[in-house]
Structure 1
């Protein structure tokens, strides 16, 4: 699949909040997930299983989702980016609002990295 095709399908799933399905369908076995170094919420993970665990751990700490929105993807070469806004209550942080850019790199028809800026 091309970056364009992946971004279109990614968007379909993201609009339905099917984030684990995105991982299953598109993440390479050696994918990297990168958050800001000083993030109090997330960390770094490598490998499909590690990235999945990172997501499951965080989702397990969400006690209430007050709102979420994901933009349409913007595609450039082998990258695409989406903006995502979240308003949620997360243990042990309480209610937080995150506005982030999510940058994805595609290689050989798979997502090989995701990097978050917030």
Structure 2
């Protein structure tokens, strides 16, 4: 049996690879547990602070994608892994229907259990 960190490292690397290709839905299908939880920053406009389950996470992703007019650039760092957790710095420069152009940076933290992502949480400036 592999150490949790080894398993977490491979999941983290796969998530990064898919996100760098813009394949967010594929990443969710491949890597997330059905009962995963997603947490946004308190006070972030347009999204509930916490959603549970893949259907709610997929719907949140669809709403975000539907709001994008144009993507001008983006970035995804290499993962930093510690036991069953990893973090990634992500950025997206995009024009949104409701906010105009925003160059956003965030730290994304993920928890892996039994080979699946069970928790994601995003940290970024609000307002």
Q: Where do 5+ consecutive residues of structure 2 fail to align?
A: 1-5
1:87 equivalent in alignment to 2:84: no
Report the CA distance between 1:45 and its aligned residue.
Answer: 1.6
Report the CA distance between 1:70 and its aligned residue.
Answer: 0.5
Q: Between Structure 1 and Structure 2, how many residues are aligned?
A: 118
Give 1 or 2 for the bigger CA radius of gyration.
Answer: 2
1:88–1:41 distance in 2 versus 1, CA, 3 Å: farther
CA distance in structure 2 between the aligned counterparts of 1:58 and 1:4, rounded to whole angstroms: 27
TM-score (norm 2): 0.88
Q: Where do 5+ consecutive residues of structure 1 fail to align?
A: none
- Mapping of residues 30-109 of structure 1, within 5 Å: 30-43=35-48, 44-109=50-115
- Mapping of residues 9-48 of structure 1, within 5 Å: 9-43=14-48, 44-48=50-54
Dislocated runs of 4+, deviation >2 Å = 41-44
CA RMSD of aligned residues (A): 1.2
CA distance in structure 1 between the aligned counterparts of 2:16 and 2:91, rounded to whole angstroms: 15
Report the CA distance between 1:41 and its aligned residue.
Answer: 4.4
TM-score (norm 1): 0.94
